[in-house]
């Protein structure tokens, strides 16, 4: 297994009806989240956001018509102990760059790394997602 870099993206997805997409991780049924993923070597965070959005949901929107917004926020959080083996020895914290995107309602979702998904209200998404940084991003960047 190749070790992960401690830099990732978080992409909050909402549709035209102000519904937020959340997905259930396949390795933890209680862990719901927005799109997340490691930034690859040589990749800029915005390109990682587009790549992860397409990989995890099947949503590949043209940048010209559906741009992903850089929220200009970088979170640093302590990596869950059960995931530390995925990172180089001594790594404790991850830097997470936050993005959001508005997509048309009714887009088909193709899951590759999750077992389920839901389009929910902003408040329900805040209640259901596992991580504090994900809750905060939804609260801050999804309009009421």
Output the CA angle 49-89-12, nearest 5 degrees: 20
In sequence order, the β-bridge partners of residue 75 are 96
Cα dist. 112→40, 76, 109, 121 in Å?
A: 18, 26, 10, 23
- Give the pLDDT confidence of 63-74 residue by residue, as tens digits: 888 899 999 999
* CATH numbers and ranges of domains, the chain: 7-141 (3.90.79.10)
Q: pTM of the prediction?
A: 0.96
Q: Provide, rounded to the nearest whole percent, the portion of the chain with pLDDT above 70.
A: 100
Binding-site members are 4, 25, 36, 52, 56, 113, 131
Predicted confidence at residue 20, as pLDDT, reads 98
Q: What is the DSSP string of 102-137?
A: EE-TT-----SSEEEEEEE-HHHHHHHBS-HHHHHH
- The binding site for substrate comprises 4, 25, 36, 131
* Annotated binding-site members for Mg(2+): 52, 56, 113
> What pLDDT was estimated at residue 3?
94
Q: Name the stretches of the chain with pLDDT < 70.
A: none
């Amino acid at each position: 297994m190749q070790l992960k870099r401690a830099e990732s993206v978080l992409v909050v997805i909402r549709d035209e009806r102000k519904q937020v997409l959340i997905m259930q991780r396949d390795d933890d049924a209680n862990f719901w989240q927005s799109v997340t993923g490691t930034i690859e070597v040589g990749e800029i965070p915005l390109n990682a956001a587009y790549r992860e959005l397409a990989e995890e949901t099947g949503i590949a929107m043209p940048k010209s018509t559906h741009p992903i917004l850089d929220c200009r926020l970088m979170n640093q959080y302590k990596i869950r102990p059960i995931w530390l083996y995925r990172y180089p020895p001594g790594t404790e914290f991850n830097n997470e760059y936050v993005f959001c995107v508005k997509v048309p309602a009714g887009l088909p979702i193709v899951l590759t790394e999750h077992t389920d998904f839901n389009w929910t209200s902003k408040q329900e998404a805040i209640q259901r997602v596992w991580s504090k940084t994900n809750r905060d991003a939804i609260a801050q960047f999804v309009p009421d």
